[in-house]
Chains A and B, each alone.
Chain A
Amino acid sequence: NAGVTQTPKFQVLKTGQSMTLQCAQDMNHEYMSWYRQDPGMGLRLIHYSVGAGITDQGEVPNGYNVSRSTTEDFPLRLLSAAPSQTSVYFCASRGLEGAKSEAFFGQGTRLTVV
């Protein structure tokens, strides 16, 4: 049982480049979400999904796109990287009811935009 798997762990981008952060879970969770964590800011919600084909914006969605074509995968796309997107990104998943609602996080992607 792998839990929540994020790739890559580290990435350096030049301003204006695009890339996709991958997130996969093997727990058949309905709810998946992306956060960024910056010093002194806590975790801020970027986008989330409550099931395949359904996505919605969080607190800081600008500059990011998501899609949910399968239950397992929830990739985050940076359209045109900016230095302000330098951060640590975390993917999380959970079920919606009962004990399956325990949330699990990936190990994070440390992104630097130069």
Chain B
Amino acid sequence: KQEVTQIPAALSVPEGENLVLNCSFTDSAIYNLQWFRQDPGKGLTSLLLIQSSQREQTSGRLNASLDKSSGRSTLYIAASQPGDSATYLCVTFQGAQKLVFGQGTRLTINP
């Protein structure tokens, strides 16, 4: 059974710092890994999808990597801004199987 763990559960950093959020998973035969952000009281917004054959994806200040051999993914946020404050969720899934969620990292960027 796939399990997804995100560490840390919460992170608070000053504005402008580069930071890394971590996600680990138990089954290395994953198909896809996707990062989302969720703002309080809002839905989940897709940030990046890494397909099983890929090693990383980039969008603006965000870069996500996938290392299936070690069962890890990282989300790198460059030059953090207060607007980046949100909960970040790591999700894995395979084919028609259900999404498996991590518990999330609650990120606060202090001005």
> Which residues of chain A are near B111, meaning CB under 8 Å?
none
Please encode chain B, from 62 to 86, with 1 for each CB lying within 8 Å of some chain A CB and 0 for all others.
0000000000000000000000000
- The B-contacting residues of A in range 69-114, CB under 8 angstroms, are 90, 92, 94, 96, 98-99, 101-108
B interface: dominant SS: strand
- Given the complex, which residues of B lie within 8 Å of A102, measured CB to CB? 32, 34, 46, 49
CB distance from A29 to the nearest CB of B (A): 12
CB distance from B43 to the nearest CB of A (A): 4
User: Is A58 interfacial (CB-CB < 8 Å)?
Assistant: yes
A99 with B49: CB separation less than 8 A: yes
The answer to whether B98 touches A58, judged by C-beta atoms less than 8 angstroms apart, is yes
Within 8 Å by CB of A48, from B32, B44, B46, B98, lies B98
Residue of A33, A58, A103 contacting most chain B CB atoms (<10 Å): A103
For residue B99, CB closer than 8 A to chain A, the reply is yes
Given A43-B101, A48-B98, A98-B51: A103 and B43 interface contact (C-beta under 8 Å): no
Q: Quick one: which of B18-54 are within 8 Å of A by CB? A: 31-32, 34, 36, 42-46, 49, 51
Contacts from B to A (Cβ < 8 Å): 31-32, 34, 36, 42-46, 49, 51, 91, 93, 95-96, 98-99, 101, 103-104
